[in-house]
Amino acid sequence: MLSAAETVRIYKNQPEMTFYAGQVIFEQGQKGDCMYGILMGEVELHVDGKVVETIEAGDVFGEGALVHPDRNRASTAIAKTDCILASMNKERFLFAVQETPMFALKVMQSFSARLRRLKQLG
């Protein structure tokens, strides 16, 4: 079974992107028009300047901007290590959810696990 990140790679709308350690991928409060799959490396998610989570290859992030009406990013994503990411816009996200139900389940699992970890921190 493909990881959520590999599914993003298949349905991506741009070439894979490289981010170097310390590079900002997106910032909290920014409007978002795509989600990301980590193909290689680690990404830190920051909320209000505090690291709340480090995610690794195989995981996805930024999906909230595709499903929330205001499209705002809830966190800042910064490459912890050099990373290779694939991105998916909303149109391709909706297509992937429709055509690949296991992708939708993996994205929901990722989102749910992230929410649970954040609740444990609070």
The two structure tokens encoding residue 111? 């989102």
User: CATH top-level class for 4-113?
Assistant: mainly beta
Q: What is the pLDDT of residues 48-107, one digit of tens each?
A: 999 989 999 988 999 989 988 999 999 999 999 999 999 999 999 999 888 888 888 888
Q: What is the mean pLDDT of residues 23-31?
A: 97
Q: Which residues of 14-50 are buried (b: 16+ CB within 10 A; e: fewer)?
A: eeeeebeeeeebbeeeeebebbbbbbebbbbbbeeee
* Predicted local distance difference test score (pLDDT) of residue 2: 67
Q: In this predicted structure, what is the pLDDT of residue 104?
A: 86
Domain boundaries, the chain: 4-113
pTM above 0.75, yes or no: yes
The answer to whether residue 110 scores a pLDDT higher than 90 is no
Contacts of 112 (CB under 8 A, 6+ apart): none
The pLDDT of residue 122 is: 61
Average pLDDT over residues 11-39: 92
Query: What is the reported pLDDT for 1?
Result: 62
Instruction: Quote the pLDDT of residue 112.
Output: 83
- Kindly report the average pLDDT of the chain as a whole number: 89
